[in-house]
Structure 1
Amino acid sequence: MDTLGALALATEPPTDQLMMRQPVGRREPLVTNIMWRNLIVQALYQVTILIVLNFGGKSILHLNNETRVRADKVKNTFIFNTFVFCQIFNEFNARKPDEMNVFRGVTKNRLFMGIVGITLILQILIVQFLGKFFKTDRLDWQLWLVSIGIAFLSWPLAVVGKLIPVPKTPLGEYCRSCLKKPSRERQGDGSHR
């Protein structure tokens, strides 16, 4: 699924705003501070959701009356389904990392829409019909809706995340300066005897 997501994002044509920017030097970071901010916000959300579902999923999903094997299989399928839908919804966020409206021009990119459609169809087939091969269990419509609802929250969360200011200095420079400061302090305090 990640390959399809990467392919979908690679098909996004450059915008006029992007074409007006100054060229980026060879030594500039590939991942910008804006990308780091968006990545951290989404990663924190998804990791939190998946950990909560992993450790409390049986009770949250009301699977306590099921056998342990079936409850584990449904819980794990639900976690897998939620994770894939989070990735699908986040593909839209990743299209426009510094804009609030991530849907502008999305229908103009037919290849992007086609790849997202293929990903959705594959996910439905894997969960509902290919359970023996992928070791998944069919989910009822309520679990599908909850899974999609959890993933949907990544859109408003992305908008809130974009309100967090981002420094101009690349994150890598901050890390390098933090690593250099302690070594200078150690040299100055006489601990190198």
Structure 2
Amino acid sequence: MDTLGALALATEPPTDQLMLRPPVGQREPLITNIMWRNLLIQAIYQVIVLLVLNFQGESLLSHLEHDYANKAREVKNKVKKTVIFNSFVLCQIFNEFNARKPDEKNIFEGFTGNYLFMGIVSITVLLQVIMVEFLGNFASTVHLSWRLWLVSISIGFISWPLAFISKFIPVPPTPFSKYFKRIFPRRRSSPRSEENHEEGAHGGGAHEEETREDSHQ
């Protein structure tokens, strides 16, 4: 899934707006502040949802499906884990669209023209359906009803409006890495090492002076 997601984002063609951006230096951080903002918001959302499903999933699914309450404890646990797995994967698939335009509100601009992206996303969705519905012994999953599929899809879909709202949160121009350097400065060398460094510098200077005197003689 991660490989297909990275391949889908790598097929995104360059746009004319890239020429309007200032050049990026070699020492600039690879992950910008905008990326950090989007990553943190999506990560917090997914962690909250997955924790709720893990600890309260059985009670929530019992209210959703009447047949779920009559199933055995082991079957309930497998269904809950399958829903958690399915929701997590669908969150990543929906988030691939957000990653296309991390600093733009319209994440679907140019989507229909990128056939590779659409094909890779379609293959990812197809593989997920096959893994959940037909490869239970291999992936340790069980069959999900259409209601549980709607729950998983809804959880993944929420990442779109969440990403749109997060675009209105401003980020500072200074990279976050520089703030961490101010809070956690580099460890200074010990006094002994500084003395050795100074002695080496003085010794090197004296050696250079002796060499110069010998050359004059």
1:106 — aligned with what? 111
SS in structure 2 of the partner of residue 132 of structure 1: helix
**Aligned twin of 2:210:** none
1:132 to 125, 137, 154: 137
Counting aligned pairs with the same residue, the percent is 64
User: Who is 1:3 aligned against?
Assistant: 3
Q: Do residues 157 (structure 1) and 170 (structure 2) align?
A: no
Partner amino acid, structure 2, of 1:99: E
Amino acid at match of 1:92: F
Tell whether 2:98 aligns with 1:121.
no
Per-residue CA distance 1:69-126 (angstroms, 9 max, x = gap): 1011000000010001000000000000001110011011100000000000000000
Partner of 1:80: 85
CA distance in 2: counterparts of 1:46 and 1:144, whole angstroms = 17
Which stretch shifts more, 121-130 or 11-20? 11-20
3-state DSSP of counterpart to 2:4: helix
Higher relative contact order (CA 8 A, sep 6+): 1
The amino acid across from 1:57 in the alignment is: G
- Number of aligned residue pairs: give it: 183
Alignment of 1:25 onto 2:25:
yes
- The one-letter amino acid paired with 2:140 is K
- Separation in 1, partners of 2:129, 2:182: 48
State the alpha-carbon separation in 2 of the partners of residues 100 and 158 from structure 1. Answer: 8
Q: Which runs of 5+ in 2 are unaligned?
A: 63-67, 189-217
2:47 alignment partner AA: V
TM norm structure 1: 0.91
Residues of 2 paired with 1:5 and 1:150: CA distance? Answer: 18
User: For 2:143, what is the secondary structure of its paired residue?
Assistant: coil
Counterparts of 2:54 and 2:14 in 1: how far apart (Å)? Answer: 39
State how far apart, in whole Å, the 1-side matches of 2:165 and 2:20 are.
26
Matched, 1:180 2:185: yes
Residue type matched to 2:33 in 1?
N
Q: Which residue does the alignment assign to 1:51? A: 51
Matched residue type, 1:153: I
Q: Shift of the alpha carbon at 1:19? A: 2.5
The residue number in structure 1 matching 2:171 is: 166
RMSD of aligned alpha carbons: 1.5
Post-superposition Cα deviations, 1:104-162, rounded to whole Å, max 9, x if no partner, equal 11011100000000000000000011111111000000000111011100000001111
Q: CA deviation at 1:64?
A: 4.0
1:147 and 2:152 correspond: yes
Residue identity in the other structure for 1:171? F
Shift of 1:51: 0.7
Structure 1: where are the runs of 5+ without partners? 185-193
State which drifts further: 31-40 or 54-63.
Answer: 54-63
Query: Are 1:89 and 2:90 counterparts?
Result: no
